[in-house]
Amino acid sequence: MTTSPTRAGAGHAPATAPSGPQPPGRGSASVRTVSLGLCGIVLFLLAWELLPRTPAADPQYLPPASTVLATLAERAATAQFWGAVGDTVLAWGSGLAIAAVAATVLGLVVGSVPLLRAYTASTVEFLRPIPSVALIPLAILLYGTDIRSTLLLVVYAAFWQIYVQVLHGVADVDPVAEETARSYRLGRLARIRYLVWPTALPYLLTGLRLGAAVALILTITAQLVIGSPGLGQEIAVAQSSGAPDVVYALIVATGVLGVLVNTGVRAVERRALHWHPSVRGEVSA
Protein backbone atom coordinates (compact mmCIF):
# COMPACT_ATOMS: atom_id res chain seq x y z
CA MET A 1 0.00 0.00 0.00
CA THR A 2 1.58 3.22 -1.08
CA THR A 3 -1.44 5.43 -0.70
CA SER A 4 -0.41 9.05 -0.82
CA PRO A 5 -1.73 11.28 1.93
CA THR A 6 -4.49 12.81 -0.07
CA ARG A 7 -7.99 12.42 1.11
CA ALA A 8 -11.04 12.72 -1.03
CA GLY A 9 -12.22 16.11 0.13
CA ALA A 10 -15.16 15.87 2.42
CA GLY A 11 -17.17 19.03 2.70
CA HIS A 12 -15.66 20.15 5.99
CA ALA A 13 -14.31 23.66 6.41
CA PRO A 14 -10.56 23.79 7.15
CA ALA A 15 -9.55 25.02 10.58
CA THR A 16 -7.86 28.07 9.10
CA ALA A 17 -10.66 29.13 6.81
CA PRO A 18 -11.07 32.88 6.83
CA SER A 19 -14.08 34.00 8.79
CA GLY A 20 -15.40 36.16 5.96
CA PRO A 21 -18.53 35.41 3.97
CA GLN A 22 -18.61 31.82 2.76
CA PRO A 23 -18.54 31.29 -0.98
CA PRO A 24 -22.11 30.63 -2.10
CA GLY A 25 -23.24 27.05 -2.14
CA ARG A 26 -20.36 25.62 -0.13
CA GLY A 27 -22.20 25.25 3.16
CA SER A 28 -25.33 23.88 1.48
CA ALA A 29 -23.15 21.48 -0.53
CA SER A 30 -21.81 19.89 2.64
CA VAL A 31 -25.34 19.70 4.05
CA ARG A 32 -26.37 17.95 0.86
CA THR A 33 -23.49 15.45 1.14
CA VAL A 34 -24.54 14.59 4.68
CA SER A 35 -28.22 14.26 3.81
CA LEU A 36 -27.42 12.07 0.77
CA GLY A 37 -25.35 9.86 3.07
CA LEU A 38 -28.22 9.59 5.53
CA CYS A 39 -30.61 8.76 2.67
CA GLY A 40 -28.31 5.92 1.66
CA ILE A 41 -28.32 4.44 5.14
CA VAL A 42 -32.11 4.66 5.39
CA LEU A 43 -32.48 2.91 2.00
CA PHE A 44 -30.05 0.19 3.08
CA LEU A 45 -31.93 -0.42 6.34
CA LEU A 46 -35.22 -0.46 4.42
CA ALA A 47 -33.89 -3.12 2.04
CA TRP A 48 -32.58 -5.13 4.98
CA GLU A 49 -35.95 -4.84 6.69
CA LEU A 50 -37.91 -5.99 3.62
CA LEU A 51 -35.61 -8.70 2.25
CA PRO A 52 -36.26 -11.26 5.07
CA ARG A 53 -40.00 -10.78 4.47
CA THR A 54 -39.65 -11.99 0.87
CA PRO A 55 -39.02 -15.59 -0.19
CA ALA A 56 -35.50 -14.58 -1.24
CA ALA A 57 -34.11 -14.81 2.29
CA ASP A 58 -34.74 -16.98 5.32
CA PRO A 59 -35.61 -14.74 8.31
CA GLN A 60 -34.02 -17.29 10.63
CA TYR A 61 -30.59 -16.63 9.15
CA LEU A 62 -31.21 -13.05 8.06
CA PRO A 63 -33.37 -11.41 10.72
CA PRO A 64 -34.85 -8.03 9.64
CA ALA A 65 -33.00 -4.85 10.60
CA SER A 66 -35.54 -3.97 13.28
CA THR A 67 -34.97 -7.26 15.09
CA VAL A 68 -31.19 -6.91 14.92
CA LEU A 69 -31.24 -3.30 16.12
CA ALA A 70 -33.60 -4.22 18.95
CA THR A 71 -31.24 -7.05 19.97
CA LEU A 72 -28.33 -4.62 19.82
CA ALA A 73 -30.19 -2.17 22.06
CA GLU A 74 -30.95 -5.00 24.46
CA ARG A 75 -27.31 -6.08 24.50
CA ALA A 76 -26.13 -2.51 24.93
CA ALA A 77 -27.94 -2.46 28.25
CA THR A 78 -25.78 -5.28 29.64
CA ALA A 79 -22.44 -4.96 31.39
CA GLN A 80 -21.21 -8.03 29.51
CA PHE A 81 -21.55 -6.20 26.17
CA TRP A 82 -19.61 -3.17 27.35
CA GLY A 83 -17.00 -5.40 28.93
CA ALA A 84 -16.50 -7.04 25.55
CA VAL A 85 -16.36 -3.64 23.82
CA GLY A 86 -13.81 -2.52 26.42
CA ASP A 87 -11.64 -5.61 25.82
CA THR A 88 -11.78 -5.10 22.06
CA VAL A 89 -10.96 -1.39 22.30
CA LEU A 90 -8.14 -2.14 24.73
CA ALA A 91 -6.53 -4.80 22.53
CA TRP A 92 -7.06 -2.71 19.40
CA GLY A 93 -5.87 0.55 20.94
CA SER A 94 -2.79 -0.77 22.69
CA GLY A 95 -1.81 -2.87 19.66
CA LEU A 96 -2.18 0.13 17.37
CA ALA A 97 -0.28 2.37 19.78
CA ILE A 98 2.64 -0.07 20.05
CA ALA A 99 2.72 -0.48 16.26
CA ALA A 100 2.50 3.28 15.68
CA VAL A 101 5.32 4.18 18.06
CA ALA A 102 7.60 1.39 16.83
CA ALA A 103 6.87 2.11 13.15
CA THR A 104 7.36 5.86 13.57
CA VAL A 105 10.65 5.60 15.43
CA LEU A 106 12.03 2.89 13.14
CA GLY A 107 10.69 4.61 10.04
CA LEU A 108 12.31 7.93 10.95
CA VAL A 109 15.64 6.28 11.75
CA VAL A 110 15.79 3.88 8.79
CA GLY A 111 14.35 6.47 6.42
CA SER A 112 17.00 9.02 7.41
CA VAL A 113 19.92 6.64 6.78
CA PRO A 114 19.98 5.63 3.10
CA LEU A 115 22.38 2.75 3.75
CA LEU A 116 20.13 1.29 6.45
CA ARG A 117 17.15 1.67 4.18
CA ALA A 118 18.90 -0.14 1.33
CA TYR A 119 19.94 -2.98 3.64
CA THR A 120 16.45 -3.49 5.06
CA ALA A 121 14.35 -2.95 1.92
CA SER A 122 14.33 -6.56 0.73
CA THR A 123 13.66 -7.96 4.20
CA VAL A 124 10.74 -5.57 4.60
CA GLU A 125 9.35 -6.60 1.23
CA PHE A 126 9.46 -10.22 2.41
CA LEU A 127 7.98 -9.71 5.88
CA ARG A 128 5.30 -7.20 4.95
CA PRO A 129 3.06 -9.42 2.78
CA ILE A 130 2.91 -12.22 5.38
CA PRO A 131 -0.75 -12.26 6.43
CA SER A 132 -1.03 -11.69 10.12
CA VAL A 133 -3.57 -14.53 10.48
CA ALA A 134 -0.80 -16.93 9.47
CA LEU A 135 0.76 -16.09 12.83
CA ILE A 136 -2.28 -17.32 14.80
CA PRO A 137 -0.81 -20.77 15.58
CA LEU A 138 2.42 -19.13 16.66
CA ALA A 139 0.53 -16.69 18.87
CA ILE A 140 -1.36 -19.51 20.54
CA LEU A 141 1.86 -21.45 21.10
CA LEU A 142 3.49 -18.42 22.65
CA TYR A 143 0.74 -16.84 24.71
CA GLY A 144 -2.36 -19.09 24.68
CA THR A 145 -5.61 -17.13 24.80
CA ASP A 146 -3.95 -14.24 26.60
CA ILE A 147 -4.42 -10.67 25.29
CA ARG A 148 -0.76 -10.89 24.21
CA SER A 149 -1.78 -13.28 21.41
CA THR A 150 -4.14 -10.67 20.04
CA LEU A 151 -1.51 -7.97 20.46
CA LEU A 152 1.05 -9.96 18.49
CA LEU A 153 -1.28 -10.20 15.50
CA VAL A 154 -2.52 -6.63 15.74
CA VAL A 155 0.94 -5.12 16.12
CA TYR A 156 2.34 -7.17 13.26
CA ALA A 157 -0.46 -6.19 10.89
CA ALA A 158 -0.62 -2.49 11.79
CA PHE A 159 3.14 -2.00 12.00
CA TRP A 160 3.83 -2.50 8.30
CA GLN A 161 1.00 -0.23 7.22
CA ILE A 162 2.44 2.63 9.26
CA TYR A 163 6.12 1.84 8.75
CA VAL A 164 5.92 1.88 4.95
CA GLN A 165 4.03 5.17 5.02
CA VAL A 166 6.58 6.77 7.34
CA LEU A 167 9.39 5.62 5.02
CA HIS A 168 7.61 7.29 2.10
CA GLY A 169 7.09 10.40 4.18
CA VAL A 170 10.75 10.68 5.15
CA ALA A 171 11.76 10.23 1.51
CA ASP A 172 9.40 13.08 0.56
CA VAL A 173 11.40 15.81 2.32
CA ASP A 174 11.85 18.61 -0.20
CA PRO A 175 15.52 19.06 -1.22
CA VAL A 176 15.16 22.87 -1.19
CA ALA A 177 13.65 22.79 2.30
CA GLU A 178 16.47 20.46 3.36
CA GLU A 179 19.08 22.86 1.98
CA THR A 180 17.34 25.77 3.66
CA ALA A 181 17.46 23.94 6.99
CA ARG A 182 21.12 23.11 6.53
CA SER A 183 22.04 26.64 5.47
CA TYR A 184 20.48 27.93 8.70
CA ARG A 185 22.56 25.36 10.57
CA LEU A 186 19.69 23.29 11.90
CA GLY A 187 21.26 20.23 13.49
CA ARG A 188 20.17 16.66 12.82
CA LEU A 189 17.64 16.61 15.66
CA ALA A 190 16.23 20.01 14.74
CA ARG A 191 15.89 18.91 11.12
CA ILE A 192 13.98 15.81 12.21
CA ARG A 193 11.74 17.85 14.48
CA TYR A 194 11.03 20.83 12.23
CA LEU A 195 11.39 19.34 8.75
CA VAL A 196 11.28 15.54 8.54
CA TRP A 197 8.53 15.07 11.12
CA PRO A 198 6.06 17.58 9.62
CA THR A 199 6.79 16.26 6.13
CA ALA A 200 6.19 12.68 7.21
CA LEU A 201 3.16 13.49 9.37
CA PRO A 202 0.55 13.31 6.56
CA TYR A 203 1.96 9.92 5.57
CA LEU A 204 2.06 8.77 9.17
CA LEU A 205 -1.59 9.69 9.66
CA THR A 206 -2.59 7.92 6.44
CA GLY A 207 -0.68 4.89 7.72
CA LEU A 208 -2.42 5.26 11.07
CA ARG A 209 -5.83 5.30 9.40
CA LEU A 210 -5.03 2.20 7.33
CA GLY A 211 -3.36 0.58 10.32
CA ALA A 212 -6.34 1.33 12.58
CA ALA A 213 -8.71 -0.49 10.22
CA VAL A 214 -6.38 -3.48 9.88
CA ALA A 215 -5.82 -3.54 13.63
CA LEU A 216 -9.58 -3.73 14.25
CA ILE A 217 -9.91 -6.59 11.75
CA LEU A 218 -7.11 -8.50 13.45
CA THR A 219 -8.47 -7.80 16.93
CA ILE A 220 -11.85 -9.29 16.03
CA THR A 221 -10.20 -12.17 14.16
CA ALA A 222 -7.99 -13.07 17.10
CA GLN A 223 -10.93 -12.99 19.48
CA LEU A 224 -13.02 -15.11 17.13
CA VAL A 225 -10.37 -17.72 16.40
CA ILE A 226 -8.23 -17.75 19.52
CA GLY A 227 -11.03 -16.92 21.91
CA SER A 228 -9.42 -14.07 23.78
CA PRO A 229 -12.09 -11.93 25.43
CA GLY A 230 -13.86 -9.24 23.37
CA LEU A 231 -16.57 -8.72 20.74
CA GLY A 232 -15.06 -11.41 18.51
CA GLN A 233 -15.39 -14.02 21.22
CA GLU A 234 -18.97 -12.88 21.91
CA ILE A 235 -19.79 -13.43 18.23
CA ALA A 236 -18.34 -16.94 18.42
CA VAL A 237 -20.40 -17.67 21.54
CA ALA A 238 -23.58 -16.31 19.93
CA GLN A 239 -22.92 -18.48 16.90
CA SER A 240 -22.47 -21.67 18.91
CA SER A 241 -25.60 -20.94 20.93
CA GLY A 242 -27.57 -20.54 17.70
CA ALA A 243 -28.59 -16.90 18.08
CA PRO A 244 -28.20 -15.31 14.62
CA ASP A 245 -29.84 -12.05 15.70
CA VAL A 246 -27.13 -11.66 18.38
CA VAL A 247 -24.43 -12.49 15.81
CA TYR A 248 -25.80 -9.76 13.54
CA ALA A 249 -26.14 -7.29 16.40
CA LEU A 250 -22.51 -7.81 17.38
CA ILE A 251 -21.37 -7.52 13.77
CA VAL A 252 -23.18 -4.19 13.56
CA ALA A 253 -21.43 -3.16 16.78
CA THR A 254 -18.00 -3.91 15.26
CA GLY A 255 -19.01 -1.93 12.18
CA VAL A 256 -19.96 1.05 14.32
CA LEU A 257 -16.62 0.74 16.12
CA GLY A 258 -14.84 0.81 12.75
CA VAL A 259 -16.70 3.94 11.68
CA LEU A 260 -15.86 5.66 14.98
CA VAL A 261 -12.18 4.74 14.63
CA ASN A 262 -12.02 6.10 11.09
CA THR A 263 -13.85 9.29 12.05
CA GLY A 264 -11.50 9.77 14.98
CA VAL A 265 -8.34 9.45 12.90
CA ARG A 266 -9.78 11.79 10.27
CA ALA A 267 -10.51 14.38 12.94
CA VAL A 268 -6.91 14.11 14.13
CA GLU A 269 -5.75 14.50 10.52
CA ARG A 270 -7.80 17.66 10.03
CA ARG A 271 -6.40 19.25 13.16
CA ALA A 272 -2.79 18.20 12.72
CA LEU A 273 -2.66 18.89 8.98
CA HIS A 274 -4.56 22.16 8.76
CA TRP A 275 -1.62 23.48 6.68
CA HIS A 276 -1.60 20.57 4.24
CA PRO A 277 -2.97 21.10 0.70
CA SER A 278 -5.42 18.22 1.14
CA VAL A 279 -7.01 19.88 4.16
CA ARG A 280 -6.58 23.60 3.56
CA GLY A 281 -8.57 23.24 0.33
CA GLU A 282 -9.63 26.42 -1.41
CA VAL A 283 -7.77 28.70 1.00
CA SER A 284 -4.52 28.23 -0.89
CA ALA A 285 -3.54 30.88 -3.39
Catalog residues that contact another protein under the rule CB under 8 A: 16, 174, 176-177, 179-180, 182-187, 190, 194-195, 198, 201, 275-277, 280, 283-285
Judged by CB, which is closer to another protein: 168, or 276? 276
Judged by CB, which is closer to another protein: 126, or 184? 184
Judged by CB, which is closer to another protein: 76, or 190? 190
CB of 177 to another protein, least distance (A): 6
Give the whole-angstrom CA distance, residue 2 versus residue 110. Answer: 17
Judged by CB, which is closer to another protein: 27, or 187? 187
Give the whole-angstrom CA distance, residue 277 versus residue 177. Answer: 17
Give the whole-angstrom CA distance, residue 263 versus residue 198. Answer: 22
CB of 174 to another protein, least distance (A): 5
Radius of gyration of the chain from Cα atoms? 23
Judged by CB, which is closer to another protein: 79, or 176? 176
Cα angle for residues 111, 135, 152 (degrees, 5° grid): 60
DSSP, res 47: H
Give the whole-angstrom CA distance, residue 175 versus residue 171. Answer: 10
CB of 192 to another protein, least distance (A): 13
Give the whole-angstrom CA distance, residue 219 versus residue 235. Answer: 13
SS3 assignment for 63-109: CCHHHHHHHHHHHHCCHHHHHHHHHHHHHHHHHHHHHHHHHHHHHHH
Judged by CB, which is closer to another protein: 143, or 275? 275
CB of 19 to another protein, least distance (A): 13
CB of 75 to another protein, least distance (A): 44
CB of 184 to another protein, least distance (A): 4
Q: Are 253 and 74 in contact (CB under 8 A)?
A: no
179 CB neighbour count, 10 Å cutoff: 10
